[in-house]
Amino acid sequence: MHADLAGLTADPGVPKPDPLLVVDGVTRAFGGLVAVHVEHLEIQRGAITALIGPNGAGKSTLFNVLSGFDRADAGRWTFDGAPVTGRSAHRLARRGLVRTFQLTKTLGRLSVLENMKLAATGQRGERLVAGLLPPLWLGQERAIEQRADELLERFRLAHMRDEYAGTLSGGQRKLLEMARALMVRPTMVLLDEPMAGVNPALTQSLLSHITDLRDEGMTVCFVEHDMDVVMGISDWVVCMAEGEVVAEGPPRAVAQNPAVIDAYLGRHHDEPGTEYDDG
Ligand SMILES: Nc1ncnc2c1ncn2[C@@H]1O[C@H](COP(=O)(O)OP(=O)(O)OP(=O)(O)O)[C@@H](O)[C@H]1O
């Protein structure tokens, strides 16, 4: 486990020694359905945190809200000490918080390189600035392309650089999605099911990319259904059910937490070991 997290009590909402993202009272409802209601949640800087929970628990909705792709009905959150409630995805990315999507957002009719460059737009130069200061813009274009090429190399996509993104395999799209997120040199990435639907060999490669990010000092929070993956790379695990955080703690402890078992089995199951009177 991440050294800083050792010895923390494993209660929902437990304060972390050095939280990067702090969430308070965040609620998002769709009609009558409260998809997310998180009282308090802190994500430790420099650690890998897994967000688990059964289908419909609110994981993606929480990611959407915190990353500026959806709005909260109530609540507030801070990133790196600054209030960022309701900030757009674009502004959050500029502050260093980015997310990836379960279904990748690559544009099939643009090249892989163009997809990468698009992920960097708006970071430092907008068109207006480009018009006023062409030499600066050109320098920036070159820097963006260089960054894109470094990342394509790192994610073993360099040979696909000039191909249409639509020709990539599902697994390669996941790699491109992760590479795109890194274009803005974020301090924190929210990865929504980065390994879903990917073959075992590529899963291993994605896993090592994720641990590399942490080892370089980045903060990673990812949604995942595969418990082997969660156990293998997480420093900390947060479990949601019916919109709420029902448990958090080190991976092994969370896996055995009755609230987590309950969340996965449903609220109305019999306790393990219950004896049935069928007479
Ligand atoms: N745009 C929407 N409109 C209406 N209901 C929504 C919308 N987005 C999510 N929901 C509902 O909110 C609840 C939480 O959904 P969410 O996708 O966040 O769960 P999840 O934990 O990410 O699930 P999964 O693991 O299946 O992806 C679900 O009941 C879902 O049907």
Residue 5 Cβ inside 6 Å of ligand 1? The answer reads no
Q: What is the reported pLDDT for 220?
A: 97
Taking CA atoms only, the protein residue closest to ligand 1 atom 5 is 30
Task: Please list the rounded mean pLDDT of every run of 10 residues in the chain (279 residues).
Answer: 72 93 97 95 97 95 94 96 92 90 73 89 46 60 89 94 90 90 92 87 90 94 91 94 95 91 69 38
Residue 71 Cβ inside 6 Å of ligand 1? The answer reads no
Residue 35 Cβ inside 6 Å of ligand 1? The answer reads yes
Q: What is the reported pLDDT for 138?
A: 63
CA distance 273 to 174: 42
Q: What is the reported pLDDT for 169?
A: 87
Decide: 180 and 115 in contact? Cβ < 8 Å: yes
Residue 238 Cβ inside 6 Å of ligand 1? The answer reads no
Residue 56 Cβ inside 6 Å of ligand 1? The answer reads yes
CA of 185 to the centre of ligand 1 (A): 29
State which H helix or E strand residue 23 sits in.
strand 19-30
Cα-trace Rg, the chain: 20
CA distance 141 to 98: 21
Q: What are phi and psi of 203, to 5 degrees?
A: -60, -45
Eight-state DSSP code of residue 111: B
Q: Give ipTM to 2 decimals.
A: 0.96
| Residues 6 or more apart whose Cβ sits within 8 Å of residue 84 | 77, 78, 91, 92, 95, 97
**What three-state secondary structure class fits 72?**
coil
Q: What is the reported pLDDT for 121?
A: 64
CA distance 223 to 193: 5
Whether domain 3-106+169-265 has CATH 1.10.357.10:
no
Q: What is the reported pLDDT for 179?
A: 93
**What three-state secondary structure class fits 44?**
strand
CA of 57 to the centre of ligand 1 (A): 7
Give residue limits of the domains in the chain.
3-106+169-265, 110-167
Instruction: Please give the model's pTM, rounded to 2 decimal places.
Output: 0.87
Mutate to test the pocket of ligand 1, among 30, 38, 225 (most ligand atoms within 8 A of CB): 30
Residue 30 Cβ inside 6 Å of ligand 1? The answer reads yes
